[in-house]
């Protein structure tokens, strides 16, 4: 069944914005509903990681009467909500209010604890914990393994956003964590994390901030509104472009990006009905077998260089 607005050829109702408005209004008025009455069952549950999954699990278990303790490796609770998502997209006050609500439910929080190092699962069992939820996330970055990736000034988005959002690098030297503030900043990728990174760079003073993505703009996995916001802020988009190497100066600082232009080719249909990459480019990952996106193909003799 289609939304009636689609039948009228109008944009669909923005449910997400309505939900955010009601939540923000409730919080601003101080009218948040009190926690429900809970009958404790005294069963101790350990939640490893205070990101979205850990917080959600902790809240649900607390409502069932379990004694929940959340263990966080960092010094702030919230996981990717605090270290990965910038303030301009998710105010930290919202995350804090959600954690405060969990505390009112009886959830205990312990920071600076690396389960597996500071404490082991056996240690926690010895403390009386009977159940464990591992929500430590999958935050390791993935690099392209091209020449020059170790030059100074090249960050993974994980490190870049963590330095800014959690370690307050934008206030260096008042805070101990520095960060390179480039006049020209390029972000490789087209997802929401890439949009967060490039918009953050813009706020840190980048004169030119750009998105370099190997597929077309229509195939970017970022939400449409995030792409629109980036364009409103003057972010440049370079689709069908892929870096092949970085070059640096005598001090080992990145200065330029060598890239190659790509063309887009349709994928073929396998006998079983699934899609596979164009024969012009063999698949490099099993996950590509189900992608409906086009297969980028390098264009011969199409080098391009960007300042970094």
User: What digits encode the pLDDT tens for the residues 254-269?
Assistant: 999 999 998 876 655 4
pLDDT digit string, tens, across residues 222-232: 999 999 999 99
The predicted pLDDT at position 278 comes to 42
Cα 30 to Cα 34, 97, 272, distances in angstroms: 11, 11, 56
Give the pLDDT confidence score for residue 263 in this predicted structure.
Answer: 82
pTM: 0.81
Question: Which segments in the chain show pLDDT lower than 70?
Answer: 1-2, 31, 265-306, 308
């Amino acid at each position: 069944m289609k939304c009636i607005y689609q039948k009228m050829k109008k944009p669909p109702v923005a449910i997400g914005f309505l939900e955010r408005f009601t939540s923000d209004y409730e919080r601003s008025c101080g009218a948040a509903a009190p926690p429900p009455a809970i009958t404790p069952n005294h069963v101790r549950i350990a939640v490893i990681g205070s990101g979205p999954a850990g917080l959600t699990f902790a809240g649900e278990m607390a409502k069932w009467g379990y004694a929940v303790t959340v263990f966080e490796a960092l010094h702030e609770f919230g996981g990717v909500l605090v270290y990965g998502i910038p303030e301009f997209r998710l105010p930290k006050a919202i995350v804090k209010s959600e954690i405060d609500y969990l505390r009112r439910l009886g959830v205990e929080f312990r920071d600076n604890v690396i389960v597996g190092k500071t404490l082991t699962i056996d240690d926690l069992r010895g403390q009386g914990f009977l159940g464990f939820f591992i929500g430590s996330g999958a935050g390791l970055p993935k690099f392209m393994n091209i020449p020059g990736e170790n030059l100074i000034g090249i960050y993974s988005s994980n490190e870049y956003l963590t330095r800014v959002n959690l370690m307050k690098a934008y206030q260096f030297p008042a805070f101990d964590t520095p960060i390179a503030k480039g006049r020209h900043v390029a972000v490789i990728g087209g997802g929401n994390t890439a949009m967060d990174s490039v918009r953050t760079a813009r706020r840190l003073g980048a004169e030119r901030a750009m998105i370099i993505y190997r597929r077309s703009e229509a195939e970017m996995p970022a939400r449409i509104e995030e792409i629109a916001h980036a364009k409103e802020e003057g972010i440049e988009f370079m689709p069908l472009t892929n870096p092949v190497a970085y070059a640096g100066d005598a001090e080992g600082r990145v200065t330029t990006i060598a890239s190659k232009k790509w063309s887009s080719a349709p994928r073929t249909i396998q006998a079983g009905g699934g899609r596979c990459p164009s024969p012009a480019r063999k698949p490099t990952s099993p996950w590509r077998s189900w992608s409906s996106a086009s297969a980028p193909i390098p264009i011969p003799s199409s080098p391009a260089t960007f300042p970094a």
